[in-house]
Amino acid sequence: MPRKLIAGNWKMNGLRGTGGELARDLAARARSAAPGCDLLVCPPAPLLIPVGEALAGSPVQLGAQDCHAEPSGAHTGDIAAPMLADAGCSHVIVGHSERRSDHGESDAEVRAKAAAAAAAGLVPIVCVGETEAERTAGRALAVIESQVRGSLPQGSGAGPPVVAYEPVWAIGTGKTATAGDIAEAHGHIRDLLREILGRAAGDSVRILYGGSVKPDNAAEILAVDDVDGALVGGASLKADDFWAIGASCP
Ligand code: PGA
């Protein structure tokens, strides 16, 4: 079983003052008591450099929230994966449901971004997850399957990608999937990864759960089979909560 990864997705929150303070707080905790899991924070792009400086010398890693599929070029406002690597990132989230809905990102675009991330030496965190309507219609597993098949990078990168299962209806709502639903979704994703990548490579991919993970539900979620960590939004903005989620890793 791989070591668990707890990733904080700060989304569009934080300024240099608050973001720097949060990062310094986490870094100080991680320096004085080695966490029992891998910790990653993904601040907004303008905070990557100051947050990276605050995390220096601590085991907390730095990630970004999106990247472009091209390594450079005429793409105003976009950020290329090599720039993220140059800023000190080890990971980048791609295909978050907010990007899929706000920016109309397709599986093919997400795959191209994931491939670009891997080519730049970053670990892509590829997000998948069904909407409430899709779950109610009994299509959750089919939707997850088609997103995994369509969004995972093909070919070799720096290492295995990470997959994040985030039911859209659980993100930022306070609703979480049941342990049974999470086990079913993660088990299905594991089977797909083994089929697509081969058994050993499929087993080496960490599958995170995301959607209203909080200190009071983290231990139950993190104990579910094939849950190799969590992608945490709201609760990653408070050092106490994010640290408590990390401390819930079995
Ligand atoms: P949440 O967000 O923890 O606030 O539900 C999770 C995510 O969107 O990654």
Active site residues: 96, 166
Q: Could you tell me if the CB of 148 is within 6 A of ligand 1?
A: no
The predicted pLDDT at position 7 comes to: 98
Distance CA 136, CA 126 (A): 24
* Number of other CB atoms surrounding residue 180 within 10 Å: 9
* Number of other CB atoms surrounding residue 250 within 10 Å: 10
Residue type for 2, please? Answer: P
Q: Are 209 and 227 a contacting pair, CB within 8 Å? A: yes
Q: What is the mean pLDDT of residues 158-187?
A: 93
Q: What is the mean pLDDT of residues 154-179?
A: 87
Token pair belonging to 157: 């990168």
| DSSP code at position 106 | -
pTM: 0.97
Q: Tell me which residue of 42, 56, 51 sits closest to 19, measured CA to CA.
A: 51
Confidence grade of residue 158 (pLDDT, cut at 50, 70, 90): low
> Radius of gyration over alpha carbons of the chain, in Å?
17
| 97 CA closest ligand 1 atom index | 8
Give 161-171 pLDDT, tens digit per residue.
999 999 999 99
CATH number reported for the structural domain that contains residue 194 in this entry: 3.20.20.70
Q: Are 7 and 230 a contacting pair, CB within 8 Å? A: yes
| 170 CA closest ligand 1 atom index | 5
Q: Could you tell me if the CB of 71 is within 6 A of ligand 1?
A: no
The predicted pLDDT at position 151 comes to: 96
Give the residue numbers spanning the domain of 27: 5-247
| DSSP code at position 161 | -
Distances (CA, A) of 72 to 67, 75, 108: 11, 8, 19
The predicted pLDDT at position 230 comes to: 98
- Residue of the CA atom closest to atom 6 of ligand 1: 233
Distance CA 177, CA 133 (A): 14
Q: Could you tell me if the CB of 232 is within 6 A of ligand 1?
A: yes
Length of the chain in residues, anyone?
250
Distance CA 4, CA 10 (A): 19
Distance CA 50, CA 28 (A): 15
List residues bridging with 164 in a β-sheet: 127, 208
Ligand 1 center–CA 9 separation, angstroms: 7
| 164 CA closest ligand 1 atom index | 9
Q: Are 86 and 121 a contacting pair, CB within 8 Å? A: no
Token pair belonging to 18: 């608050």
- Residue of the CA atom closest to atom 1 of ligand 1: 233
| 212 CA closest ligand 1 atom index | 5
Q: Could you tell me if the CB of 198 is within 6 A of ligand 1?
A: no
Residue type for 204, please? Answer: S
Q: Tell me which residue of 164, 167, 170, 210 sits closest to 189, measured CA to CA.
A: 164
How many domains are contained in the chain? 1
Distance CA 36, CA 38 (A): 7
Q: Could you tell me if the CB of 212 is within 6 A of ligand 1?
A: yes
With the most atoms of ligand 1 within 8 angstroms of its CB, the residue from 5, 6, 9, 126 to mutate is 9
Give 29-55 pLDDT, tens digit per residue.
999 988 899 999 999 999 999 999 999
Q: Could you tell me if the CB of 193 is within 6 A of ligand 1?
A: no
DSSP 53-101: HHHTTSS-EEEES--BSSSSSS-TT--BHHHHHHTT-SEEEES-HHHHH
The predicted pLDDT at position 157 comes to: 59
Ligand 1 center–CA 80 separation, angstroms: 24
Q: Are 207 and 189 a contacting pair, CB within 8 Å? A: yes
Q: Could you tell me if the CB of 211 is within 6 A of ligand 1?
A: yes
